[in-house]
Structure 1
Amino acid sequence: MFSMLRDAVGAMPWLILAMSQLTNAACECGYSVNSTSGNQFASYTDLMENDFLHTVVDNITEAGWRVQVYNVSAEDARGPYGKQFELQNVESNPLKDKFSWSGDSENGGDPGLRLWVRGDHSKGLVGGAEMASVRDDVLYGSFRVAMKLSSTSGTCGAFFWFYNNSQEIDMEFLSKEFNNSQGAVNLVMQTPMSVVHGYDASNTSAFKIQALPFRPDEKVHEYRFDWAPGSVNFFVDGAWVYEMTENIPVDAGRMFMNHWSNGDPLWSAGPPGADTSMSVTYVKSYFNTTNTAKNDAYKKRCANWNATQVCQIPDQTVAPDPSGADGNKTANTYFFTLDGDDHAPGQEVFKTTNGASSLFASSSFSIYIPVIVALFSWAFAL
């Protein structure tokens, strides 16, 4: 028996190598929301992931984003103050320990990418921060951000997709809406109807104030929307909260994040009297592309669509917060791009510090273990 076990164990490296070769193609055909056998299955060809708890770059474009620099007059901003988006209002603030998922940050305060709203508005402009994805070919997908909002009343923080003023999908947070026990997220789509109403979506079916059972400024939570032909569904920490089905966007655009104020009492309120920030710990986007070269590359690596070569996107079902006693566990979420090249074939992998890795085992590891256990069971049964 032991000679057979010895032979079996001796064969394991070859078996593992063979399994590794199979799993190298694990994500060749893309990424799915839900199981490929599920009723709500949706598959996407491309991804863009950012681990901002560990990202150290000289220029944020290395991470797939561009800081937006421009001014908006008070008249155009439709408030008592104008808006001034500046480069220095986007600040990288990674963890000091690149091998950890919680702890002290390089610049103090909340770790992650910080988007600042400035307290000095003496010149009639309120300093804010905005970023747009380098990629402008995003059409349908699942889009997720983990962030902690400002605790100072008078700002608007947002995560959104944008094509133009009549095709936009937003998750917006007004810090004035946070009270002692709960908060809210404004689920908004700018549509042809909102343009008719003076760019005010609140008078249309594409607007929903969604109450939250927590304050978004107390810790990091994940906010998500899944955009498909004919629908947009919104989620908080993996739980579905609302669906919109009218005037759904049909063109490709970019992802955005911003944090701003213009003093409008009907929206942002404020502006704040001191500098205040919102912190983003990750962005995860899984989507289809209108880029011809990228679509051609996808067709080559997935010449014959196979469900076994589609990787299911893990749902984040708890707040991915890096603070507290369990911060090193809860903030350590799954990234395909940190799980080896075989899980991001043909994808743009954006720069992070060396050493950051996923807490969750790779799919290849999850395959090895049953094989090894089965092999030992077989050997000892003989």
Structure 2
Amino acid sequence: MLPHLILTGLVGYVAAASLQTRATQDSTCPCGYLDSNGNVWRESSVSDFTAGTPTSVLQQAFAVETWGVQGTYQYRQNSADNVYNLNGALGMRTQGWSGSGPVYTSEVQSHRDDILYGTFRITAEIPTTPGVCFGFFTFYSNTQEADIEFLSADTNAAHTVHYTNQPGQTAGATETVTLGPNLQTSFNEHRIDWLPDVVNYYLNGGQTGSISIQVPDTPSFVLANVWSNGDPGWTQGPPTADAVATIQNIKLYFNSTSLSESDFNSACATAGRPASCQI
């Protein structure tokens, strides 16, 4: 079977791990990126935190968030201090809460806000301290969002993950899946494949979920976070000790609304139409 392109009308430039500018196409993969399902994605943003200073690598593709919000329970404050270099990888944490004042959390958001469909992968060791949510997700708004979420209070021999096309209150928009064994003690690749008619979810290359309700259709960011607001029905906590995720890489392969399909095809033709890079 021939690979098939995921078309979005207008699609974008190739953003490579070598920090090329927004309008520069990656000459090593001018004909895109071929995934295991036969989809060809025209762009990439690969952040390997084990290959350099993690926070410097992060800044090439992601912004560290510093906003705060008062919820029903505790004030949540994202802090740049909670995104840091950790044992040759990227650390993200929620700080242990003293019992008063804000809960200091962490979040990173892609510089790209024009991503429309793709395959998004994060290799991480998720938090072990109860009382936080570790999330990896696409986001434009509360009704245009596809999530992978782990609750550290769910720790057991067969860990639970929550997959959602928001809002989660809609019937069929959420899947709660038992993965196992306990994923908090090893690095694993968690993956979202956002397609026009379905969002598929994966663990280490094997499909673990699929949701065709409320599939986002708006250009979006990609984010990761470790957070708590003390909600007893969700994050629980806040944690009394630091709750830390350790991230080895974030790999984004996608289409966007930044460059026309014809320009992508022209660049591929100019390069001699080499095979798409396999991912």
Distance 2:123 2:256 in 1: 23
Superposed CA deviations along residues 143-178 of structure 1, whole A, max 9, x for unmatched, are: 100001111111100000101110001000001111
Alpha-carbon distance in structure 2 between the residues aligned to 1:176 and 1:57:
28
Please say if 1:167 is aligned against 2:144: yes
Aligned residue number for residue 325 of structure 1: none
**Is residue 2:214 matched to residue 1:212?**
no
1:264-303 correspondence to structure 2 within 5 Å? 264-292=231-259, 298-303=264-269
| Paired residue secondary structure (1:303) | helix
Change (3 A) 1:188 1:305: farther
The one of 39, 44, 56 equivalent to 1:42 is 39
Query: Residue 257 of structure 1: CA displacement?
Result: 0.4
Encode CA deviations 1:69-102: one digit per residue, 9 max, x unaligned.
Answer: 0111033xxxx21201011110022xxxxxxxxx
Aligned with 1:185 (options 161, 177, 180): 161
Specify which of 140, 152, 170 is matched with residue 117 of structure 2.
140
On the 8 A contact 1:92/1:114 being kept in 2, the answer is yes
1:60 CA displacement: 5.9
Structure 1 CA distance, aligned partners of 2:71 and 2:139?
A: 22
Q: What are structure 2's unaligned runs of at least 5 residues?
A: 1-25
Contact 1:147 1:222 in 2 (8 A): yes
Q: What SS is found at the alignment partner of 1:63?
A: helix
> Following TM superposition, by how much is the alpha carbon of 1:308 offset from its aligned partner in structure 2, in angstroms?
4.7
Which structure is larger by alpha-carbon Rg, 1 or 2? 1
Q: What secondary structure is seen at the aligned counterpart in 1 of 2:269? A: coil
CA contact (8 A) 1:60 1:66 kept: no
The one-letter code matched in structure 2 to 1:312 is Q
| Structure 1 unaligned spans of 5+ | 1-23, 35-39, 94-104, 106-110, 195-200, 314-382
State the partner residue of 1:99: none
Give the deviation of 1:56 after TM superposition: 1.2
* Cα deviations by residue, 1:104-155 (Å, 9 ceiling, x for unpaired): x2xxxxx411111111344332110000001111111111000011111111
Between the aligned partners of 2:218 and 2:277, the Cα distance in structure 1 is 26
- Alpha-carbon deviation of 1:33? 1.4
What is the one-letter code of the residue matched to 1:185?
V
Secondary structure of the structure 1 residue equivalent to 2:59: helix
Structure 1 residues 303, 260: closer, same or farther in 2, change over 3 A? same
CA RMSD of aligned residues (A): 2.2
- Higher strand proportion, which one? 2
After the TM superposition, which residues 240-319 of structure 1 pair with which residues of structure 2 at under 5 Å, given as runs? 240-292=207-259, 298-303=264-269, 308-313=274-279
Contact in 1 for aligned 2:63/2:109 (Cα 8 Å): yes
Q: Could you tell me how far 1:265 is from its partner in structure 2? A: 1.1
Task: State the partner residue of 2:153.
Answer: 176
User: Matched residue of 1:269: which SS?
Assistant: coil
Aligned mates of 1:129, 1:26 — CA distance in 2: 34
* Secondary structure of the corresponding residue to residue 258 of structure 1: strand
The sequence identity of aligned pairs, in percent, is: 30
118-127 vs 24-33, greater mean Cα deviation: 24-33
Q: State yes or no: 1:224 paired with 2:226.
A: no
Aligned to 1:29: 31
- Give the aligned partner of residue 81 of structure 1: 74
TM-score (norm 1): 0.62
Decide whether the 8 Å contact of 1:143 with 1:224 is kept in 2: yes
Kept in 2: contact 1:29–1:306 (CA 8 A): no
